[in-house]
Amino acid sequence: MNVLMSKTLVTRLQLVILSLAMLGFASGCATGVGGKATNTAANVLLPAAEEEKLGDQMRGQVRAEFTILDNPEIQGYIRELGAKIVRASGNQPRGISYTFDVIDGNEINAFTTPGGDIYIYTGLIKAAENEAELIGVIAHEVAHVTNRHIAEKLVASYGLQTVLDMALGQNAGTLTQLGATLGAQGYLLKYGRDQESEADRDGLNYMVRAGYDPNGFVTFFKKLEARGGGGIEMLSSHPLPKSRIDQARAIIRKMGNTPDNLGTARLQEMKKKL
Ligand SMILES: [Zn+2]
């Protein structure tokens, strides 16, 4: 770590700690900071193992809020795609055990709860034209986990001690409140613009490493934009879709040769079973 980096890290750590000390919560502060320094700060403040424990505490509540699709073949299919992306990401951070589930619902949406629990609506599967479009969303959600965005938002909103207490099952009231927020919003917490950009960028890299055409992410994003962004996790924050599409295209151009596998036939086959 060079001097500049460690200075940035200290400044950002101070910012987060100051926010917590002053307010106990600070949803605005975490939104503006992103990048690897914050990633490190999240690791320091909330170890991945604690995020995983919190996920364990919340899982039952989340599953009670939503209807999990009763279709082992589709569930297995989504888990297979999820596992491909987790492998491509280097299965990080250590301590997180990813899970992938399909929610029976027509919303074109996906969301992630603490501890790497990723939920995909049947509506999203139906809206995708090929596997690359679908796995692009999964890769984006996995990238929120690898970048510790959920940990950052939780700590900024609730304070580190409260999150640690919740992880240990010692703050049932706040845990229930967190679950209710999730139910009301359909996804956990709104990410900031830097976090969305980071998830877009890393997600594109994961899908390419998994052998998929990254343009699937772009075509699906355009589709979401055309339908209107209300309530869709991927479009829940600035920057505006146009600039994110431009950013994704620029990243893909820089990658040079990318796979052209779209997986159209397989997804169409799976959609018939829905
Ligand atoms: Zn996102």
User: Distance from the CA of 3 to the center of ligand 1, in angstroms?
Assistant: 31
Provide the pLDDT for residue 226: 81
Q: Which domain holds residue 143?
A: 46-271
Is 175 inside any structural domain? yes
**From the CA of 259, how far away is ligand 1's center (Å)?**
23
C-alpha 241 to ligand 1 mean position (Å): 12
Kindly list the protein residues that place their beta carbon closer than 5 angstroms to ligand 1, a single-atom ion: 196, 199
Cβ proximity of 12 and 33 under 8 Å: yes
19 within a domain of the structure (yes/no): no
* Cα-to-centroid distance, 245 and ligand 1 (Å): 13
4 within domain boundaries: no
pLDDT tens sequence across 191-232: 888 888 999 999 999 999 999 999 999 999 888 888 765 556
Counting as low any pLDDT under 50, the low residues of the chain are: 1-38
Q: How many angstroms does the Cα of residue 142 sit away from the middle of ligand 1?
A: 9
Gap from CA of 23 to ligand 1 centroid (Å): 26
* Residue 29 is assigned to a structural domain of this protein: no
- Within-domain flag for 7: no
9 found inside a domain:
no
pLDDT of 184 reads 60
107 touches 124 (CB < 8 A):
yes
Q: How many domains does the chain have?
A: 1
Question: Is 247 part of a structural domain of the chain?
Answer: yes
98 Cα: distance to centroid of ligand 1 (angstroms): 17
Number of neighbouring beta carbons within 10 Å of residue 243: 12
pLDDT for res 88: 98
pLDDT digits (tens, 9 = 90+) for 79-97: 999 999 999 999 999 999 9
- Asked if 62 contacts 117 with a C-beta cutoff of 8 angstroms, the reply is yes
> CA-to-CA distance for 57 and 123, rounded, in angstroms?
27
Quote the DSSP letter at residue 148.
T
140 inside domain: yes
